[in-house]
Chain A
Amino acid sequence: MSQRKPAAKKSKSERPSLSGRRKVWLAWMLRLSLVGLALLAGWLVYLDAQVRERFDGNKWALPAKVYARPLLLYPGQLLSASQLEAELSWSDYSARGYADRPGSYTRSGEQWTIFRRAFPFWDGPESARRIELSIRDGRISRLREQGEDVGLVRLEPQYIGGIFPAHNEDRELVRLEDVPPALVAALVVTEDKAFFEHWGISLRGIARAMLANVKAGGFVQGGSTLTQQLVKNFFLSSERTLIRKGQEALMALLLELHYSKEEILQAYLNEVYLGQAGRRAIHGFGLAARFYFGKSVKELDNGEIATLVGLVKGASYYNPRRNPERAKERRDLILGLMADNGIITDGQRIVAQGKPLLTSAAGRAGQREYPAFLELARAQLQRDYRLQDLQSEGLRIFTTLDPWMQNAVEEAAQATLKRLESRSRELKDVLETAAVITSVDGGEVRALLGSRKPEFFGFNRALAAKRAIGSLAKPVVYLAALESGRYHWGSVIDDKPVSVSGPGGQLWQPQNYDHKSHGALPMADALARSLNQATARLGMTVGLGNVAATFKELGLQAEVPPYPSMLLGAISLSPVEVAAMYQTIASQGFVMPLRTIEAVATAKGETLSSYALRGEQVVSPAMMQWLRYGLEQVAERGTARRITQELEGPLAAKTGTSDDQRDAWFAGFDNRHLGVVWVGRDDNQPMPFAGSSAALPIWLDTFRSAGSEPLPPADLLQMVPVNAAGQLVENGCRGTLYPFIRDRVPAAAGQCDPLTEPSSGEKKSWFDWLF
């Protein structure tokens, strides 16, 4: 058993003296300080690496900028004065008494002078050009530059959106030398007067801010220098802690150590957040100048400079569009500061303060986005490019979008839906629409509408809404019949009740729209009147397999089940798929992918890709012209006759209405464009409208306002008389003229009922009329 010894008490002499304790304490302090210094040094090295890495490399993830097609100007081009005026305004051109600077134009009657801006096109940069043109009878009659005739000039294309990284940051990079000195000076005197004197942090500024905050009893003023603000935006989160504040100060010092004041200022001018446009965050003065005033930063006047500088303090609070009074007050304050500091004279200040706060429209074409088209373009781009590169490399994407056509279809859709919905309270805001407009010969997508709200990023019905196509399937049935060699447009077919039993024993008994049967009639009439029973009978005779194969032949990639109901359009397709199929008809048999991208260039102007026409002639042009005759009859005297009552024909078209009127469709083309329009409800409920009353008006209004051109004559066809029994007869025999493929006209087999000559003297010649 051990005994516990009592703890020996230290004698007084053994205790460390006061000075000894201080030494120990000091030693510990020294050690801790050394550790702290080592940690600080390590942290500094880490921060330094961060600062240099970020500042030396690509500072920003630059979104791809997407542009519409450039407007081509050449002698003879179809172009109305209203289109030219609109396109100039969308590209932020200003009408002036004299077009004396890039981005301005003047008009005097038919004569226009346009000072086009310099622009880096995908096939090379072009300098600013001052051109003169005349528009007569809807065409450019003359195009000149410095007194000489020129063949072709392109206006710079309109911005239509971006492919943004996660935070949707957008910016237009500017170099310091491109920024007006007054803007830089105004920014410095407003935000950080001692910018050119301090080393990143300003003790005087901090003291002043602290005093102000203490006086106010809360946070009213920050003591951050421009360098600190840049560090905060560039490297750090927005949390307010002491450690973060310390980090900000250290990084500001490091930034100033490595980089010149000019480099820091340039970065600040491009980094600072200056507003929001929908999902798009507006960063930097370059883009802000474009967004708020529709001009480049170089072109800003003193008042505009002061307005933008005022936004630095609070982009939302001082937003000149939403809070004009506050923004004006702030602008005038900054103009005062500018005058006090000799940046502008007192006279200039008075003039600038006397001006109203004028901004360009936020939703104007040149700054808004076109989500439906962008989605299709992005999907096509991602076949060749990584999304990450599209979001960060500042690529410039040149597309096929025609803003004039897009504007026409958007306005037509708005007006038509409003009109349709006014007929019934239950319909208010429930109708939706989608539309695709392409060029007939090249398959370039010229306009795309994915919703009745064209600026809404959401469900894109043009691409994703798969709906029953109804009678839009009928031309495929008639093409299969024509290709079979057993039918022509004068062939007599029967429109009488049909009953087909399906695999489960259910009966398929289609009805006509008017619930009547119309008996024997020529094939052209059956298509023109969109008769279901006649078409179903024809399709069954031609063969379901043949009709399904004809869908494929026209380039449809979706599977078509060989069921009888397919003959009348019980196939669900998106508007873009329908457009691709009708494209083959409109282009005379050339199957081609619909295309949105013309070219892709780097931010420095190097062309990465350019895309030309691709496709394959799969159906003979003569066969397509023969089919087109049927579609022309639809537009001339059938269910789509309203379009030729208002536009010059011939035009080719087909209306479509699915079962119970759940979908209204219209597909039609003129000599230049094909348009497919769908109207329906997202909940797939019936509507009190058919294709001819809901979708046709959108097509018609679009083609009326964008411009329409009749189809050329079908030069591969020959008109031959056909008797009432559908048999060909010799020329000079009584019959109705129908077209046949010129080199494949069958021999006349019908009995001839000779035409009687009109007796002489019954008709007067034009010469008789004159006298």
Chain B
Amino acid sequence: MVRLVVLIFTFSAFLAGCSAVPEGPDQQRVNVAALPDWQADGSMGSFTEGNHHPAIASLFAKAEIERRKQRWRSAMTYLDQARQIQPRNPAVFYRQAWVSLQMGDRAQARNLLQRGLVFAQSDVAMTERLNQLLAQCQ
């Protein structure tokens, strides 16, 4: 019985410890809701759409401001900072690819989307959305 008490106590302490520290952005998985709406005419919803880690959300917000001003290089700078924080987030690659397309760099857009597909793997909806944009890069 003593063992049970010890185990319950240790388990509770473990849970309490875990709950205090937020998980790193590298541990978060994203789904298709993290991608902004995209229309076949090329228009894109806001880069800030979807739920993101606070660091990524803050960089997406800055990228969105630049996107509205059509300052593509600046937008790409913020998105690449987001990529360095979450290097396997397909939602970042999706936005970077779209900006590359606006810059007229189809090959780069294609490469970035293919990279996004590597990390979308089992997410069918995400893969479909990435492929839709990939079709525009051909």
Residues in A with CB closer than 8 Å to B108 are 614
Say whether B115 contacts A615, CB under 8 Å. yes
Choose among B55, B59, B76, B111 the residue that contacts A75 (Cβ–Cβ < 8 A): B55
**Per-residue CB proximity of A490-508 to B under 8 Å, as 1/0?**
0000000000000000000
- Known pairs A74-B54, A770-B4, A770-B7; A139 contacts B88 (CB<8 A): no
Choose among B22, B88, B122 the residue that contacts A76 (Cβ–Cβ < 8 A): B22
Say whether A72 contacts B55, CB under 8 Å. yes
Asked whether any CB of chain A lies closer than 8 Å to the CB of B127, the reply is no
Choose among A72, A607, A610, A715 the residue that contacts B85 (Cβ–Cβ < 8 A): A72
**Per-residue CB proximity of B95-138 to A under 8 Å, as 1/0?**
01000000000001001101100100110000000000000000
Residue of B nearest to A149 (CB): B54
Say whether B121 contacts A715, CB under 8 Å. yes
Bound-complex Cα distance A319 to B74 (A) = 45
A to B CB contacts below 8 Å, 21 in the list: A72-B85, A74-B53, A74-B54, A76-B21, A77-B55, A122-B77, A137-B17, A137-B20, A137-B21, A141-B22, A152-B58, A152-B59, A607-B73, A607-B77, A612-B83, A613-B80, A613-B115, A614-B108, A617-B114, A671-B26, A716-B121
Say whether A613 contacts B112, CB under 8 Å. yes
Asked whether any CB of chain B lies closer than 8 Å to the CB of A444, the reply is yes
Asked whether any CB of chain B lies closer than 8 Å to the CB of A603, the reply is no
Asked whether any CB of chain B lies closer than 8 Å to the CB of A552, the reply is no
Asked whether any CB of chain A lies closer than 8 Å to the CB of B87, the reply is yes
Q: Within A609-631, which residues are at the interface with B (CB < 8 Å)?
A: 610-617, 621
What is the minimal beta-carbon distance from B20 to any residue of chain A, in angstroms? 6
**Per-residue CB proximity of B62-85 to A under 8 Å, as 1/0?**
100000000001101111100111
Identify the 9 closest CB pairs spanning chains A and B, nearest first: A151-B54, A441-B87, A74-B55, A151-B58, A612-B80, A76-B24, A152-B55, A610-B77, A76-B22
Choose among B17, B80, B87 the residue that contacts A439 (Cβ–Cβ < 8 A): B87
Say whether A617 contacts B115, CB under 8 Å. yes
Residues in A with CB closer than 8 Å to B32 are none
Residues in B with CB closer than 8 Å to A137 are 17, 20-21
Residues in A with CB closer than 8 Å to B114 are 616-617
Asked whether any CB of chain B lies closer than 8 Å to the CB of A78, the reply is yes
Asked whether any CB of chain B lies closer than 8 Å to the CB of A588, the reply is yes
Say whether B118 contacts A621, CB under 8 Å. yes
What is the minimal beta-carbon distance from A405 to any residue of chain B, in angstroms? 14
Say whether B57 contacts A444, CB under 8 Å. no
Say whether A439 contacts B84, CB under 8 Å. yes
Residues in B with CB closer than 8 Å to A439 are 84, 87
Q: Within A129-175, which residues are at the interface with B (CB < 8 Å)?
A: 136-137, 139, 141, 149-152
Say whether B54 contacts A152, CB under 8 Å. yes
Asked whether any CB of chain A lies closer than 8 Å to the CB of B23, the reply is yes
Residues in B with CB closer than 8 Å to A150 are 54, 58
Bound-complex Cα distance A617 to B3 (A) = 53
- Known pairs A141-B21, A151-B57, A588-B118; A123 contacts B78 (CB<8 A): yes
- Known pairs A136-B20, A139-B24; A74 contacts B77 (CB<8 A): no
Say whether A74 contacts B25, CB under 8 Å. yes
- Known pairs A123-B77, A588-B118, A607-B73; A616 contacts B21 (CB<8 A): no
Bound-complex Cα distance A75 to B27 (A) = 12
Residues in B with CB closer than 8 Å to A612 are 76-77, 79-80, 83, 96
What is the minimal beta-carbon distance from A745 to any residue of chain B, in angstroms? 17
Residues of B within 8 A of A (CB): 1, 3-4, 7, 17, 20-27, 53-59, 62, 73-74, 76-80, 83-85, 87-88, 96, 108, 111-112, 114-115, 118, 121-122
Residue of B nearest to A70 (CB): B81
Residues in B with CB closer than 8 Å to A617 are 111, 114-115, 118
Say whether B79 contacts A615, CB under 8 Å. no
Residue of B nearest to A624 (CB): B118
**Residue of B56, B57, B58, B111 most packed against chain A (CB within 10 A):** B111
Bound-complex Cα distance A145 to B4 (A) = 44
Residues in A with CB closer than 8 Å to B27 are 76
Say whether A76 contacts B25, CB under 8 Å. yes
Say whether A139 contacts B22, CB under 8 Å. yes
Choose among A74, A590, A716 the residue that contacts B115 (Cβ–Cβ < 8 A): A590
Bound-complex Cα distance A716 to B24 (A) = 23
What is the minimal beta-carbon distance from A649 to any residue of chain B, in angstroms? 18
- Known pairs A123-B74, A715-B122, A770-B3; A615 contacts B111 (CB<8 A): yes
- Known pairs A122-B77, A442-B87; A76 contacts B23 (CB<8 A): yes
Residues in A with CB closer than 8 Å to B25 are 74, 76-77
Asked whether any CB of chain B lies closer than 8 Å to the CB of A599, the reply is yes
Known: A440-B87, A615-B115. 14 other contacts (CB 8 A): A77-B24, A78-B24, A123-B78, A139-B24, A151-B53, A439-B87, A599-B77, A607-B74, A610-B76, A614-B108, A621-B118, A715-B121, A715-B122, A770-B3
Q: Within A549-591, which residues are at the interface with B (CB < 8 Å)?
A: 588-590
Bound-complex Cα distance A611 to B81 (A) = 10
Residues in B with CB closer than 8 Å to A149 are 54
Bound-complex Cα distance A770 to B10 (A) = 14
What is the minimal beta-carbon distance from B124 to any residue of chain A, in angstroms? 14
Residue of A nearest to B25 (CB): A76
Residue of A nearest to B77 (CB): A610
Choose among B22, B62, B74, B83 the residue that contacts A442 (Cβ–Cβ < 8 A): B83
Bound-complex Cα distance A431 to B72 (A) = 49
Residue of A nearest to B18 (CB): A137
